[in-house]
Amino acid sequence: MLETVFITGGTGMIGGHLVAKICEEPTVEKVFVLTRRPSTLLPHPKVEIIYGDIECADLGLEPHERRLLAQSVTTIIHGAALTSFSSELAAARAVNVAGTEWVLQLAAGCLRLRGYCHLSTVYVCGKRTGRISETELEHESGFVNSYEQSKYEAEQLVQSESYRLPTTIVRLSTVIGDSGSGAVNKMGGIHHAMRMVFHGLAPFVPGRKDSAVDLIPLDYAVDSVALLGLQKFTPDTTWHVCGADDALSLEEFLDATVQLFYQHRPAWRKRAIEMPAIVNVETFELFVKSVEEVGDSMILDSVATLKHFVPQLAYPKQIKDTATQAVLKPAGIVRAGMRDFYPKVVRFLLENNWQPLCQERMAS
């Protein structure tokens, strides 16, 4: 059976590459991409842009567009989300929870639907510590930020619909850059944190020396979603696409980052910037409070970048991907080692003055 895929978030950091990957599938004849604004996607004969908004009723679609999707779509991949860690909870819920509800309503009306794939984050585990497996879906440990909480609530919504819809959840870890080139196509919290360390604006990091820093390459994330959401779709499943046992400890990560700065910017050593001190979350919160009271704009901006997501490191955990690897490895999808791809990302960021790869350069 030929597939017709409907994707939300298809113009985002992962989405653009995911659309291109899915278009390569011989069984896919059409890919509908929902977007709010003129698309930056590269033209492809299989791609059709549909303008809408996941915050709006019925996704902001015209009746004839909903009928077209209901009659033709076989797979939905819902990746659109508000990913800002600093957003108010109400704003995060409006996109990540209410938006998911609108997409699920669309899915319920699709006559040929074979699968609904919901993209989430491994950090729906929030303030939990210890081992986190794919089968653990609920907890009451609390969350570090509104993004984590709203994505957790969206997952609960998806789970509640699994009795009538074929659903799967793919939880992604922090995506940092391409495993081959190190290229970064969108700056996220982790990239801004690295830049703050480079400029000496991150004197403290909350966590423990053995807290895991779990990062994955962009290409691994894209290949995994394409496989789990389309080629090997299995209903009523949850997958972890993460670094798992390959993750570096916080102490190793900071040391590797500093050494790479020395390697690619020898003059950086002369600046004598100290490696950030690893402190408990209470000490970090006191530091944040003191910065906010002083009001220095440059330091205030850097702290604002860090304070909503870095405290996750104060809740050490090991994200496990045992079941996921049992599906990915036989399909030839192998995660590059963090010690191999992370240096490439640092080099890319330094050589490009902390600027992401623009769409024009991606197309060339």
Examine residue 354 and state whether it is found in any structural domain, yes or no.
no
Which range of residues forms the domain containing residue 322? 3-175+215-244+317-336
Q: Residue 18 has what pLDDT?
A: 96
Which two three-digit tokens encode residue 180? 């081959």
pLDDT at 11 over 90: no
Q: Residue 298 has what pLDDT?
A: 63
Examine residue 254 and state whether it is found in any structural domain, yes or no.
no
- For the chain, percent of residues with pLDDT exceeding 90: 80
Examine residue 26 and state whether it is found in any structural domain, yes or no.
yes
pLDDT 10s digits, 180-189 = 999 999 998 8
Examine residue 326 and state whether it is found in any structural domain, yes or no.
yes
Q: Residue 158 has what pLDDT?
A: 98
What pTM, to 2 d.p., does this model score?
Answer: 0.95
Query: Looking at residues 292-320, what average pLDDT do you find?
Result: 82
For 3, residues 6+ apart whose C-beta sits below 8 A from its C-beta are: 25, 27, 28, 29, 74, 75, 114, 230
Query: Looking at residues 5-16, what average pLDDT do you find?
Result: 92
Band (pLDDT 50/70/90 cuts) for residue 308 is: confident
The domain that contains 165 carries what CATH number? 3.40.50.720
pLDDT at 271 over 90: no
Strand (E) or helix (H) holding 363:
helix 359-363
Examine residue 259 and state whether it is found in any structural domain, yes or no.
no
Q: Residue 364 has what pLDDT?
A: 36
Examine residue 352 and state whether it is found in any structural domain, yes or no.
no
Helix axes 281-294, 297-306, angle to 10 degrees: 150
- Cβ atoms 90, 27 nearer than 8 A: no
- For the chain, percent of residues with pLDDT exceeding 70: 95
Q: Residue 297 has what pLDDT?
A: 64
Domain count, the chain: 1
pLDDT 10s digits, 160-212 = 999 999 999 999 999 999 999 999 999 988 998 999 899 888 889 999 999 99
Examine residue 249 and state whether it is found in any structural domain, yes or no.
no
Band (pLDDT 50/70/90 cuts) for residue 1 is: confident
- Cβ atoms 359, 194 nearer than 8 A: no
Examine residue 25 and state whether it is found in any structural domain, yes or no.
yes
Q: Residue 318 has what pLDDT?
A: 96
